[in-house]
Amino acid sequence: MKARIGFIGLGNMGAGMAGNLLRKGWPLTVMAHRRREAVDRLLAEGAQEATSPRVMAEMVDIVVLCVTGSPEVEATINGQDGLASAGKPLMVIDCSTSDPAVTVRLAADLKSRGITLIDAPLSRTPKEAAEGTLDVMIGGSEEDVARARPVVEAFAGRVIHTGPVGTGHTMKLLNNFLSMGYAALYSEALVLGQKAGLTPKVFDSVIRGGRMDCPFYQTFADYVVNRNEFAHVFTLNNALKDMTYLASFAQSVRLVNPVGAAVRNSFAGAVAAGSGERFVPMLSDFIAKQNGVELA
């Protein structure tokens, strides 16, 4: 029999992931947060509903978390009526982008209470989440990863075991450093081009299909050139959160990281200006406005 799965965090990524688990035969229990659309859809497809993390823990064997970050993970597990309050053995697969230091500490604490925590952050977009083709980086022991792998493979195209607990979240920060670094570079390059009379369409015609092209560039450019607002659904708030985790991690290992600081500041400026709920490619609009130009 397949393990009973609980899923907390039915946002842009989580809704597609949970749908894949259900369609691939995993007994699924879900929980509502602020909105019910995804919950109601999954219930209609055969999922069950829990009213709190504690109730969910009592109903399932494995819980997948896809929430914002470490504070939300800790609250879901250790908060009032949290998963741990059920007092039963459980595996928790944290697919959030969390602080590696918090993940390691939390995993050690939970182990003494019979709860196994592994980190399994994601790469790619809600489109791949719905298609079941995400990239997943897993941190945990060989035994724990082997147990989690069939669950993760329900929504993943690639699963990479990165090492012990915490290494998945560390690798995710490095992955997001690269992608958010590209976003900051694209934004400044596009604005500089516009200042020099090179439109985004001209810029795109040179980059697309060349050595600097990549799937991340393509979703970024889909917004800049075609104004597709949903080309890359990842908020500037989340980008800043991840770059802040990266700064904390760099500080913990005494790394001099001027590029990381510059990337973080690009997103911090946009968020401080009130654009936090806009999506990452829209950083280009903020940089353009700072320089007195428009890319549209």
Q: What is the distance between the alpha carbons of residues 184 and 190, in angstroms, rounded to a whole number?
A: 10
Q: Which percentage of the chain shows pLDDT scores above 70?
A: 100
Nearest 5°: phi and psi at 225? -85, -45
Domains of the chain (ranges; CATH) run: 5-164 (3.40.50.720), 170-290 (1.10.1040.10)
Give the model's pLDDT for residue 155. 98
Cα distances from 154 to residues 17, 160, 270, 282, in angstroms, run 8, 14, 36, 32
Convert the pLDDT of each residue in 93-151 to its tens digit.
999 999 999 999 999 999 999 999 999 999 998 999 999 999 999 999 999 999 999 99
- Output the six-digit token pair for 287: 């940089």
Give the model's pLDDT for residue 296. 87
What does pLDDT average to over the chain?
96
Rg (CA), the chain: 20
Q: What is the distance between the alpha carbons of residues 92 and 70, in angstroms, rounded to a whole number?
A: 14
The model's pTM is: 0.92
Strands 62-65 and 5-8 come out as parallel
* DSSP state, residue 279: B
Q: What is the distance between the alpha carbons of residues 123 and 172, in angstroms, rounded to a whole number?
A: 8
Convert the pLDDT of each residue in 15-29 to its tens digit.
999 999 999 999 999
pLDDT band at 35 (very low <50, low <70, confident <90, very high): confident
The pLDDT of residue 239 is above 90 = yes
Q: Where are the beta strands (DSSP E) in the chain?
A: 5-8, 28-30, 48-49, 62-65, 90-94, 115-119, 122-123, 134-139, 156-163
Residues 88 and 114: beta-carbon distance below 8 Å: yes
Catalytic annotation present for 172: yes
Which one of the listed residues 2, 88, 127, 172 is annotated catalytic? 172
